[in-house]
Amino acid sequence: MTDALPPLDGVKFNTDGLIPAIAQDATSGEVLMMAWMNREALECTLREGIAVYWSRSRGKLWRKGESSGHVQHVKALYLDCDQDTVLMKVEQVGGIACHTGRRNCFFLERRGDEWVHAHAPVKDPNSIYGDTHGQ
Amino acid sequence: MTDALPPLDGVKFNTDGLIPAIAQDATSGEVLMMAWMNREALECTLREGIAVYWSRSRGKLWRKGESSGHVQHVKALYLDCDQDTVLMKVEQVGGIACHTGRRNCFFLERRGDEWVHAHAPVKDPNSIYGDTHGQ
């Protein structure tokens, strides 16, 4: 273990040029979601102070909240020991991170042999996105 | 085979057969680490109640703490809305999740144009692993 600190160049993107990025609520500590960033998304996140991901399904940069208004203001950003995972502490506008209208995306809880809904939407996603289904 | 395994249909493993798994301290809410599970690792985690990952570098199942003693007892396990990320709330034995001897793996904090060490090891990794460098 060296004490040398990596420049942004030391960030290890995978063979698709992506790195997983975890968003955690800076106040409650709740893990809100995990999505992916490419180098440009990470640079935009650092420059703009809001979470910018790479949408693998849409193949483009995704400024979280661009449709919903549920922007994530980045309060701190960390890299892990292997330099291949990002953690952000964020202020979640609207208190809703998930496109289903829930506080966070991790609402399927394993209990025994089943997945159960651990928490319900706080808002109808149709009222967030209208007829479209964006994030 | 004695223990029938619960069906995990619906869990979306990537093209390498893996799913990212986030470990969060069940008490403090601290995000400890992110690693990967294949189907067998997830099944073992659910059956054994401890975090079992797939070590990509070693190409085998990795019962977290098998070398260090820093086992993660799983208190709850969640899947996200896209069913492609796992979140576990764990009790971290020894209070050390990182192979560097730190509480958690996310100790490189971006401040301005630099990565700085946000927190120091609580234990010398050599005293955890001896001369080997395991996790």
**Interface predicted TM-score of the whole assembly (ipTM), two decimals:** 0.92
Q: Give me B61's structure tokens.
A: 């199942």
> By percentage, how much of chain A surpasses pLDDT 70?
91
Smallest Cβ–Cβ distance between A1 and the set B79, B100, B116 belongs to B100
- Confidence class of residue A102 from pLDDT cuts 50, 70 and 90? very high
End-to-end CA distance of chain A: 39
The whole-chain average pLDDT of chain B stands at 91
Contacts of A47 (CB under 8 A, 6+ apart): none
Q: What domains can you pick out in chain A, each with its CATH number?
A: 8-95 (3.10.20.810)
Q: What is the pTM of this model?
A: 0.92
Q: Which of B11, B34, B111 to mutate to test the interface with A (most CBs of A within 10 A)?
A: B34
Question: Which pLDDT score, from 0 to 100, does residue A34 have?
Answer: 98
Q: Give me A124's structure tokens.
A: 């109808």
Largest CA distance in chain A: 52
pLDDT digits (tens, 9 = 90+) for B93-104: 999 999 999 999
Return residues 45-84 of A near B (CB < 8 Å): 46, 76-83
Question: Which pLDDT score, from 0 to 100, does residue A6 have?
Answer: 52
Question: Which pLDDT score, from 0 to 100, does residue A49 have?
Answer: 96
